Amino acid sequence: MALPICLTVIAIFTLCCVINCNNGVEAFHDIYPDLQSISARSVSKLQRTGYHFQPRKNWINDPNGPMYYNGIYHLFYQYNPKGAVWGNIVWGHAVSKDLINWKELEPALYPSKPFDKYGVWSGSATVLPGKGPVILYTGVIDKQSNEVQLYAIPENKSDPFLRKWVKPKAFNPIVVADHSMNASVFRDPTTAWWSKDGHWRMLIGGRRKDRGMAYLYRSKDFVKWIQAKHPIHSAASTGMWECPDFYPVSLKGKNGLDISVVGSSSIKHVLKNSLDLTRYEYYTIGTYFKNKDKYIPDNTSEDGWGGLRYDYGNFYASKSFFDPSKNRRILWAWANESDSKEDDVKKGWAGIQSIPRTVWLDYGGKQLVQWPVEELNSLRKKEVKISHQKLKKGQHVEVKGITAAQADVEVTFSFSSLDRAEPFDSRWVNAQDLCSQKGSKVQGGVGPFGLLTLASEKLEEFTPVFFRIFKAPNKHVILMCSDARSSSLKRELYKPSFAGFVNVDLAKNKKLSLKSLIDHSVVESFGAGGRTNILSRVYPTLAIKKKAHLFVFNNGTEHITVEYLKAWSMKSARRN
């Protein structure tokens, strides 16, 4: 008799959580105790990705502690070994030589000590020169989710895969919240950076009332940590800052920088926070005043809910690391499912990682640019091309000859005039709302034009990824959408019209480029060379496997030319 009551309570709890999100009440995750230990009898291959990272089965969320060490890339991730919804969390562990083909190992961290008995939550890795890697992570010490910060080190640094990690008794926990802080919103330590004053520094996410903040700690020996007087930065009304990430970027070129590079005049810093309240992230670009232990965003970077985003879609809890082997900074994030928990239990899996992306500062220094790591190209097989294809209003042309459900496509569109651009209404501040008003089916002036991905032959289902250009008083406004509303005939799915604005100047160059990585249940798109990016999770019912099609389309009065398009069938990555 207890079961139905219990289910009702769970349903109410989940609902409360959803309703209360905006009041700043704990929204860390919905919890489904009845589902979290149901092991899948079989794993459904139907919507599984071919080349995005996901473990063989069960639930994953945040990427943790990504690093490069002795020729091997390590990816850890929040993982439920027992079921396909959140719960029973351990640090899953996979290793790779190329960031694309992975070998899954046994979990690296699992609750084993009084200080992490109720959870081994997110954290980061730091490679100490001459000493090897150290993981900093959050341990949950009680059922009230009070959190402390811990460290773990490899049991045997000579093991090339660093399979086993130990949590030394000495000094653990290394950081606990002081009495002025709320210990249940105090988590996700960053990679530490080293300064010439002889200290390591790292950040921990938190909140005071509604103010989101990144607490700063410093240490001489990596085990005794002292809290700085002030957080490195905070912002009003942003709620809990999860998974802060803080790193330098170069003002000169695409090379990444080691996290400890500071103070030079040719760098800026990036601070990214994942907002627990809204479940999306934003970042600012600014200056790190290391003598004052302060970070101040540039006045061109909005510091709040409307700020710049790495990705305007399904992309959360991201984390970057510096790859010294190729002098680049690489960014990962968790992309959750858009179907129901019951679907996930049936599938036997939930959650994928984005394709790892190289990230650098755009010229002008006002935003970041991202692009899939070059190693992904090793999966390209059959290639098809289209060039100088004109598209009139209402026209769509198929890109034939590739596996459209598992593909990589790059296209450059051009147009001869912006005269027909629709007027922009200055009240349109939210791109996603605008895309929901002006989707691909609403014909326009210049655009909508772009790709129809994961499309069924007769377009009963398709996920359009497209641009639409508006005329504002002194400039043009470019909207990029990845609209899931027509993605599936299945109704009970989350189908947002994800969108962002694209900040490029069309006066000089009447061209826009788009790249989409299509992988069964994910469409990960990069607009204008990676300046605006959107990852969508979609679950077609007709446009699956060989029945998926890819088209280019135009639904605006201005003629559009596909200057150049290349598309590739993609091989599956090795994932064990």
Please list every residue from 274 through 313 that binds ligand NAG, using CB under 6 A: 279, 299
- Rounded Cα distance, 240 and 513, in Å: 36
List the one residue from 318, 336, 453, 463 that touches ligand NAG (CB under 6 A): 336
**How many alpha carbons lie under 13 Å from residue 348 in its C-beta half-sphere?**
12
Q: Which candidate, 348, 308, 336, places its Cα nearest to that of 536?
A: 336
Closest distance to ligand NAG from the beta carbon of 198 (Å): 31
Among 495, 484, 464, 489, which residue's Cα sits nearest to residue 541?
Answer: 489
Give me the least distance between CB of 369 and ligand NAG, in Å please.
Answer: 21
Counting Cβ atoms within 10 Å, is residue 117 exposed (0-12), middle (13-18) or buried (19+)?
middle
Contact 275, 239 (CB under 8 A): yes
Alpha carbons 263 and 288: distance in angstroms, whole number: 8
Q: Kindly indicate which of the ranges 116-124, 180-188, 210-218, 557-565 contains the residues binding ligand NAG, using the contact rule CB under 6 A.
A: 180-188
Q: Which is nearer to ligand NAG, 380 or 485 (CB)?
A: 485
Report the amino acid identity of residue 348: G
Question: Residue written as tokens 């994910």?
Answer: 522
Q: Which is nearer to ligand NAG, 45 or 441 (CB)?
A: 441
Euclidean distance between CA atoms 22 and 151, whole angstroms: 33
Near ligand NAG by CB under 6 A: residue from 394, 419, 430, 472: 394
Site map (CB under 6 A) of ligand NAG, residues 436-455, x = contact: ----xx-x--------x---
Question: Helix, strand or coil for residue 515?
Answer: strand
Name the nearest CA neighbour of 73 among 133, 20, 26, 122: 133
Kindly state whether residue 182 participates in binding ligand NAG, applying the rule CB under 6 A.
yes
Instruction: Tell me if 185 contacts ligand NAG by CB under 6 A.
Output: yes
Counting contacts by CB under 6 A, is residue 156 touching ligand NAG? yes
251 contributes a contact to ligand NAG by CB under 6 A: no
338 belongs to the binding site for ligand NAG (CB under 6 A): yes
- Cα atoms found within 13 Å of the Cα of residue 382, Cβ hemisphere only: 9
Q: Are 372 and 535 in contact (CB under 8 A)?
A: no
For ligand NAG, the binding residues in 15-44 under the rule CB under 6 A are 26
Centre a 10 Å sphere on the Cβ of residue 274 and count the other Cβ atoms it contains. Answer: 27
Site for ligand NAG in 453-512 (CB under 6 A): 464, 494
Nearer to ligand NAG, 61 or 370 (CB): 61
What is the closest distance, in whole angstroms, from the C-beta atom of residue 36 to ligand NAG in the complex?
Answer: 16
Q: Tell me which of 553, 556, 569, 570 binds ligand NAG, using CB under 6 A.
A: 553
Q: Is 265 in the site for ligand NAG (CB under 6 A)?
A: no
Element (H, E) at 12: helix 2-20
* 211 contacts 234 by C-beta, under 8 angstroms: yes
Catalytic positions, please?
A: 62
Q: Which two tokens stand for residue 576?
A: 């064990």
By beta-carbon proximity to ligand NAG, the closer residue of 338 and 516 is: 338
| Binding status of residue 178 toward ligand NAG by CB under 6 A | no
Q: How far is the CB of 536 from ligand NAG (least distance, A)?
A: 11
**Near ligand NAG by CB under 6 A: residue from 42, 158, 180, 325:** 158
- Binding residues (CB under 6 A) for ligand NAG: these are 26, 156, 158-159, 182, 184-185, 279, 299, 316, 336, 338, 394, 396, 440-441, 443, 452, 464, 494, 553, 555
